Amino acid sequence: MVESSFILHQHTPALHSVDPRGLSVASILLCRSSIDHESEMRISQASFDVAGRLVSRWDPRLWADRAPANLSVIHSLSGQVLASDSVDAGWRVSLAGEAGQVLEAWDARGVARRTGYDALLRSTEVFEDVHCVERLLYGGPDSTAYNQCGQLIRHDDPAGTLLDEAFGLSGNVIRQTRRFLHSANEPDWPESLTGRDALLEPGDGATTCWQYSPLNESTQQTDGQGNVRFLGYTVAGQLKDSRLQLNGQAEQVLVSAIQYDAQGRVVSETAGNSVISTARYDTEDGRLKELNATRSNGQVLQDLRYGYDPVGNVIRVEDRAQPTVFKGNQRIDSVSTYHYDTLYQLIEATGRESAVVNYGPVFPGFQSPADPTRLANYTQTYRYDAGGNLQQLTHTGAQSHSRTLVTARYSNRSLPVINDHIPNEAEIAAAFDANGNLLALQAGQDLSWDRRNQLQQVRPVVRDDAADDSERYIYDASGQRLRKVRTTQAKAVTHIADVRYLPGLEVRTDSATGETLHVVVAQAGRNNVRVLHWASGKPDALENDQTRYTLNDHLGSGTLELDGQAQRISQESYYPFGGTSWWAGRNAIEANYKTVRYSGKERDATGLYYYGLRYYAPWLQRWINPDPAGAVDGLNVYLFVRNDPCGGSDDGGLVYRGMNDRIDRHYDKTHTIKYRGVSDMRRADEHKLVYTLDLALEESVAVMTREVEKLKAGDTDDLYAFLGMKKTIKRTHPVGS
């Protein structure tokens, strides 16, 4: 396998062309997924104005079709972006003031956003269309008692009101209160404080307090229910232990004895249930080699071993703590393998799954207790277009099936083929709004979006003669979800399940069961800890104040849940792109309280994963709306972790992060003019400059194309001469033959 991988990647260099100013105007990547196939050229292009500012970009798919640019940008004379037009995310226009502050903005959905500022250019109000969705109040000269002078002390946002009531000497907030809106609908904040308070729920809200050391380290946090978390640090400022004291109860250890290597990575820690977790890294390249977890008696719970190719792609993961099973003339090992094309996109994966048929957003059948004989091997293959969009997934195993997606001709908006119906261009266009937000998860499951392009509501059940079932999401000013409200209809009764997210705490209520659950959330070294305290409605089968320790893999995915005595609560395995391949536990009711799963993110009842600023649909292998950060990870703003789910992650839904960032090499251009002779030419004859640059671009692409054809034919003389190397190996056959 390794040898064939080496042959696959031979003679597939990345080529970049620059104009006379040193700006990257074109690049060629060679894509090949099999040694039996010829390489395909993937040409990307960018164009710049006479000032060296990026004005348009094409990805390989649209460049090959000579289509309009994926992204076009218009700048002001000062260089600030005035307008952008994306084939995926629609257009944006903004107008700035004298100091560069954005005063007004519009988008393709027709939303008009206006921001007001005070004399110090601090934003004081935000209007969307005719509604005031934010008001901001700052401490004045009379607010010195709690160091509030000049600080933002009240922020009325789409979720309610955030009060920063006290600050430390270093400027950290040490007392903060969150009050929620009485209604789940979007607010229209009046000017008066009395009018704003009238929109809020009665009561004092939820107050969180922090304490800091003289070195500005957070040493204590008291959440909105009076639970206190204590943090200890080493002399180097690294977390060494964490303890929790539930309101009115004794203190308990969450994690202790955290040890680090010279690079600051956790190599050992002991959880409060005495489970010892260790990590081992390769001494030569720093890559993670092993993740282990053992009980205090030495019994192994987790023994993950990782294998990589020479550039750091994960090609093998084995859990030696899991048994090998023989079933149906198959040997079923706890081993997953991964294969990549020459662009390092995942093209094949193998592993094990539940033998019960399952695909789409639903879970596989729950096993209680875990039964290894109900597992089977699987193989998944993936095929992408030149823009990175999934075209087809083929799944072979106990659940053999395939999934095909169709992508619009001049954008990356895609829809799945359902019941052999291939969506046409008109149907794809109708499935997204003007800003590229998906309007339905599946047939009958409509999606609604707020004015900030955040998912506002999902309607999983739509009724003609009665109210719909719905799940509504509410966010703060930064775009983080603070509330989730699920409404279901049962005969003449409406049931409401409400989740509120506070610092270190989740408050979950359900009118159908009378349940009020407080979930204390803490990060304990590499792993997660959640403490479940029922104020009312506790299920009979569960004990109160249950502490759950989650063991994670290299991506942060929760694979094993343990209780305070280090006994298994649940175990879960995932497909490469996030679907659950199998899960088991000692009790279905107990296991259903697990909400954080793949990549350490919360999975909603819809099957979507909430990443912070976007939602991910694992069965589609793509985000359901464009990247709010724009084209920071490439021109395909729906692409999930560059189709590298085994080594890449995206913590907040904005930016891709490789597992080995310190050794990853990224091609980076600062888009600055390096040669002043261009400025002289522009002053002499601007039209001549534009003409010259066009000629340079055409010649660069032509030269690069010729050189690529030479490489594919096995002619490497020019390449070795350019590198200053002697050619010692002569190819006897062209690449791919």
Q: Which residue has the tokens 């202790």?
A: 256
pTM listed for this prediction: 0.89
Q: Is the dihedral of CA 354, 355, 356, 358 positive or negative?
A: positive
pLDDT given for residue 523 in this prediction: 82
Q: How far is CA 443 from CA 127, 419, 431, 547, in A?
A: 34, 12, 11, 39
pLDDT given for residue 165 in this prediction: 97
Q: Break the chain into its structural domains and give their ranges.
A: 1-21+30-42+672-737, 54-129, 213-658
Q: What is the mean pLDDT of residues 252-265?
A: 94
Q: Is the pLDDT of residue 730 over 70?
A: no
Q: Is residue 645 reached through a cis peptide bond, with omega within 30 degrees of 0 on the bond before it?
A: no
pLDDT given for residue 716 in this prediction: 64
Q: What is the mean pLDDT of residues 374-385?
A: 95
Q: With bands split at pLDDT 50, 70 and 90, how would you rate the model's confidence at 40?
A: very high
pLDDT per residue as tens digits for the range 185-226: 999 999 999 999 999 999 999 999 999 999 999 999 999 999
pLDDT per residue as tens digits for the range 628-654: 999 999 999 999 999 999 999 998 998
Q: How far is CA 438 from CA 127, 287, 638, in A?
A: 25, 37, 11
pLDDT given for residue 440 in this prediction: 96
pLDDT given for residue 593 in this prediction: 95
Least confident of 130-134, 146-150, 175-179, 712-716: 712-716
- Which strand ranges, in their side-by-side order, compose the sheet holding 622-623? 602-603, 609-610, 615-617, 622-623
Classify domain 213-658 at the CATH class level. mainly beta
Report the C-alpha gap between 518 and 529 in whole angstroms: 13
Q: Is the pLDDT of residue 363 over 60?
A: yes
pLDDT given for residue 497 in this prediction: 96
Considering the chain, what percentage of its residues have pLDDT values greater than 90?
76
Q: What is the mean pLDDT of residues 717-722?
A: 58
pLDDT given for residue 247 in this prediction: 93
Report the C-alpha gap between 662 and 650 in whole angstroms: 16
pLDDT per residue as tens digits for the range 446-455: 999 999 999 9
pLDDT per residue as tens digits for the range 47-56: 999 999 999 9
Report the C-alpha gap between 80 and 652 in whole angstroms: 26
pLDDT given for residue 357 in this prediction: 66
pLDDT given for residue 223 in this prediction: 96
Considering the chain, what percentage of its residues have pLDDT values greater than 70?
90
Instruction: Supply 701's token pair.
Output: 């692409």
pLDDT given for residue 733 in this prediction: 43
pLDDT given for residue 694 in this prediction: 66
Mean pLDDT across the chain, nearest whole number? 90
The continuous run of DSSP H or E covering 684 comes out as: helix 677-684
Q: What is the mean pLDDT of residues 449-471?
A: 90
Q: What is the mean pLDDT of residues 513-533?
A: 92
Instruction: Supply 63's token pair.
Output: 């460049």
Q: What is the mean pLDDT of residues 463-475?
A: 88
Least confident of 34-43, 71-80, 161-170, 672-681: 672-681
Give 370 or 557, the one with higher predicted confidence.
Answer: 557
Contact criterion met (CB below 8 Å) for 138 and 125: no
Q: Is the pLDDT of residue 697 over 70?
A: no
What count of other Cβ atoms lies within 10 Å of the Cβ of residue 119? 5
First-to-last alpha carbon distance for the chain, in angstroms, is: 19
pLDDT given for residue 678 in this prediction: 46
pLDDT given for residue 693 in this prediction: 63
pLDDT per residue as tens digits for the range 661-693: 544 433 333 334 433 344 444 444 555 555 566
pLDDT given for residue 181 in this prediction: 97
Instruction: Supply 516's token pair.
Output: 């009020």
